[in-house]
Amino acid sequence: MSIYIKNVLLDEKTTNILIHGNKIAGIGIDIEQPTGANVIDGQGKAAFPTFANSHGHAAMSLFRGFGDDHNLGDWLNQWIWPNERNLDPEIIYWGVRLACLEMIKSGTTAFADMYFFLPDAAKAVEESGIRAILSHSFVDLHNPDMAKSVRKEVEGMESIICDWNSSHERTKLSIAPHAIYTVSNETLKFFAEFCTRHNLIYHIHMSETLTEVENSLKENGCRPYELMERLGILEQTGSRFIGAHSLHLSPEEIGLIGKYHCNVAHNPNSNLKLASGHQFFYNELRDAGVNVALGTDGCSSSNNLDMIEAAKVMSLLQKGWRQDPLSMPAPETLKVATRNGFTAMGIDAGELSEGHLADLMLVDLNNIAFVPNNNSTSNLIYAAHGDCVDTVICNGNIVMQGRKVAEEENVIREAQRVVKKLITVRPA
Ligand SMILES: [Zn+2]
């Protein structure tokens, strides 16, 4: 099956894009329309790579707007944990479908996720037509008995993970230690060995708050990334490591993350809303050779999954705290939100050129954010919202055209239904 996108704007020039199977087969004004191709009229549209959301908790979309404006302890203890006890496969399935719908409608075709009920979550992503790496999140609370049962549970999941990964192309399963303050050193190491043995992504919350760093200094005598190096985990996992947040870093830690070619997932909206911090060391990490990607985090802390909004906030934050309007220009922001996210997930997409996977979107140049269209990348990053996206292609398949997504009404109706099963405890 081929897709031929005719007369579309790409890098401010009109061109044609040809997709064969799941790859971009050619780009150029002289590329001709093959017979039998599915033709998309690109007039009045601009093509961009789709976004890769490098950190989130998709099914938490069902908690959108629930328990906002509380401190983390109250929010977890009173609002989230009592209701998470209600989670079941059906709630997870429709929660992930809802998240995928929102992601498709705002131009995202891949996400790295940490939550529960993996096969049900992965089925929802498969049926939505996009990509994900879904990691089951574990804590052992530094308790030896819990550590033992976590180990047992992971060993029980081994064949499920291997079978799924060998038989699915767009979705992969993994396991994730939640964070160093909820997972013991022994379990952190056990996960690294497991992920290395099976060539899986090692996704963990790192250095999200100052408290986390201070407690690590007290308990481990070193900072969080120094601990991960001491345990041999950075070296072992390397480019399969995704450190979500990585907000409070010393220059030495930045050097370590670069040395082992690890990935960092920056979540500006979540960091601001939870008041975790705002001085993310983008330039320093980039210059140290770190692949910095962009994420939204779950809908509980970012309230939406719009990567265009996250990209704008990321850029403005860098300019703001550095007092430097030249930092984080729009093209670099776009690369972090697209190519770098796919790289962190080990997927060869996020770049519109021949041979790469065909994940791309067309934005509507009649959307007010693109009028006038003096510079389409600038308009995308600084002026637009997710609703400018008209067409989304993932792995060579159209998942949205004319802003229409298959089963959209059904997904919304079912999400509204299952949330009644999920949220049964409402603090006053
Ligand atoms: Zn998170």
| CATH value at residue 397 | 2.30.40.10
Do 254 and 231 lie in a common domain?
yes
Do 230 and 89 lie in a common domain?
yes
CA distance 32 to 46: 19
| CATH value at residue 128 | 3.20.20.140
CA distance from start to end of the chain: 55
Assign 71 a pLDDT band (cuts: 50, 70, 90).
Answer: confident
For residue 267, the CA-to-ligand 1 centroid distance in Å is 9
Token readout for 388 is 């400018």
List, for residues 78-107, the tens digit of each pLDDT value.
Answer: 999 999 999 999 999 999 999 999 999 999
pLDDT at residue 72 in the model: 77
**What's the rounded mean pLDDT across residues 407-411?**
98
- Tokens 């005719």 — which residue? 6
In single-letter form, the type of residue at position 254 comes to: I
For residue 205, the CA-to-ligand 1 centroid distance in Å is 6
Do 218 and 249 lie in a common domain?
yes
pLDDT at residue 76 in the model: 85
For residue 133, the CA-to-ligand 1 centroid distance in Å is 14
Token readout for 326 is 């030249």
**Is the pLDDT score of 346 beyond 90?**
yes
For residue 296, the CA-to-ligand 1 centroid distance in Å is 9
Question: Which residues make Cβ contacts (< 8 Å) with residue 372, sequence separation at least 6?
Answer: none
Do 250 and 389 lie in a common domain?
no
For residue 303, the CA-to-ligand 1 centroid distance in Å is 13
pLDDT at residue 251 in the model: 98
Token readout for 142 is 């530094």
**Biggest alpha carbon–alpha carbon distance for the chain:** 68
In a domain, 422, yes or no: no
List, for residues 183-197, the tens digit of each pLDDT value.
Answer: 999 999 999 999 999
For residue 56, the CA-to-ligand 1 centroid distance in Å is 5
Return left, alpha or beta for 289; rule: phi > 0 is left, psi -120 to 50 is alpha, else beta.
left
**What's the rounded mean pLDDT across residues 316-331?**
98
**Is the pLDDT score of 225 beyond 90?**
yes
Do 312 and 384 lie in a common domain?
no
Give the torsion through C-alpha atoms of 202, 205, 211, 212, to 10 deg: -10
CA distance 11 to 378: 11
**What's the rounded mean pLDDT across residues 285-310?**
97
**Is the pLDDT score of 35 beyond 80?**
yes
For residue 265, the CA-to-ligand 1 centroid distance in Å is 10
Range of the domain at 151: 51-344
CA distance 192 to 291: 20
Let me know: does 271 contact 231? Beta carbons within 8 Å. no
Instruction: Residue 275: name the closest of 39, 101, 3, 71 by CA.
Output: 71
**Is the pLDDT score of 275 beyond 90?**
yes
In what helix (H) or strand (E) does residue 53 lie, and over which residues does it extend?
Answer: strand 51-56
Let me know: does 47 contact 339? Beta carbons within 8 Å. no
For residue 154, the CA-to-ligand 1 centroid distance in Å is 21
Chain mean pLDDT for the chain:
97
Integer angstrom CA distances of residue 247 from 206, 210, 292, 324, 336: 8, 9, 12, 19, 16
For residue 360, the CA-to-ligand 1 centroid distance in Å is 26
CA distance 291 to 270: 20
pLDDT at residue 54 in the model: 98
pLDDT at residue 338 in the model: 98
For residue 57, the CA-to-ligand 1 centroid distance in Å is 6
